[in-house]
Amino acid sequence: MSMQARHEQLDQARLLVDHLRSQAEIDRTKVSVSTQALLTYIQENEMEDPLVNPLAQSDNPFKPKNPCAIL
C-alpha cells in the first residue's frame, strides 16, 4: 500500500471518528417522552386547529363568490 493511500485512509478514519464523536454528544430524548409531549400539545391545541374544527362557510375568505345577479 502506498503512503498516499495510507494517508487517505487515515484521513477518512479521522473524519469518521470526528463524526461519531459529534453524534455521541447530541442530547437525545426518549421516544416515549417525546410522544407524550406531542400528545399533550395536540390535546391542548385541537380546538384552534382549523383542520379539526373547520371555519364556518360564512367566515371562509376563500369561499367562491356568487356571480353578479344583474348580469
Does residue 69 lie within any of the structural domains?
no
Does residue 31 lie within any of the structural domains?
yes
Q: What is the 8-class DSSP label of residue 26?
A: S
Task: Enter the pTM of the model.
Answer: 0.48
pLDDT, residue 7, reads 93
Please give the grid coordinates belonging to residue 35: 410522544
Length of the chain: 71
**CA atoms of 13 and 9, how far apart (whole Å):** 6
Total tally of structural domains belonging to the chain: 1
Contact 46, 52 (CB under 8 A): yes
Does residue 28 lie within any of the structural domains?
yes
pLDDT, residue 65, reads 74
Does residue 65 lie within any of the structural domains?
no
Sign of the torsion angle spanned by Cα atoms 47, 37, 25, 22: negative
Residues in the chain predicted with pLDDT less than 50, given as ranges, are: none
Domain membership of residue 37 as a residue range: 3-48
Does residue 64 lie within any of the structural domains?
no
